[in-house]
Amino acid sequence: MDGRIKRFVFAGIVLCAALLACGLPLGNAPKVQRTVLAATIFVMQTEVSTLQTPEPSATATFTPFMTATMTTSPLPTAQNPLVTSKTLCLLGPGSAYEVASSLQAGTRVILLGEGSVPGWWIIEGPTYHDPCWVPQENLQFDINYDFYGLQIYDPPSTPKPSK
């Protein structure tokens, strides 16, 4: 039935387009011709709307259905890295750099970034709160720690040996 409606509407549109394409002078046409054309279009629209009207006996029913819902629990807040053994916090990666401070085992530190030299992390120094470098083997990271957005630090130039 839906295909008949589409064909009927298409035929009506084609008929109207053909009349307009033929140069039917609607503006100068007698009032009777314009009325006949308007009546034809009205009848076509009415027939289309009656074909689309559902029968009164056919009623739509809504049947609810169950959906699975997933509840998310917030991730536990990650703790700052833990110093696992006594270590030095240096001004760069390695013993060629000055010592900024020392860290005791069991201390939690504020992580500022990762060193561009593998195996080194930059933390906020406990004494002066300046960035300093700690070797990775002396830090333990919480499994939920978010490393996204940490700055990558390049090491400063090594100090020149004094003569």
- pLDDT value of residue 88: 95
Using the predicted structure, report yes or no on whether residue 110 has a pLDDT greater than 70: yes
Q: What's the CATH number where 142 sits?
A: 2.30.30.40
Measured CA distances, 83 to 96, 110, 122, 123 (Å): 22, 11, 13, 11
0.75 exceeded by pTM: no
Compute the C-alpha angle 141/152/107, nearest 5°: 30
Residues 31, 93: one domain? no
> Do 94 and 149 belong to one domain?
yes
* Neighbouring residues of 67: CB distance < 8 A, sequence distance ≥ 6: none
User: What is the rounded average pLDDT of the residues 35-48?
Assistant: 62
Tally the domains of the chain: 2
153 pLDDT higher than 60 = yes
The stretch 7-21 carries a mean pLDDT of 65
* Domain assignment of residue 76, yes or no: no
Closest by Cα among 134, 15, 43, 159 to 84: 134
Q: Which residue segment(s) compose the domain that 6 sits in?
A: 2-52
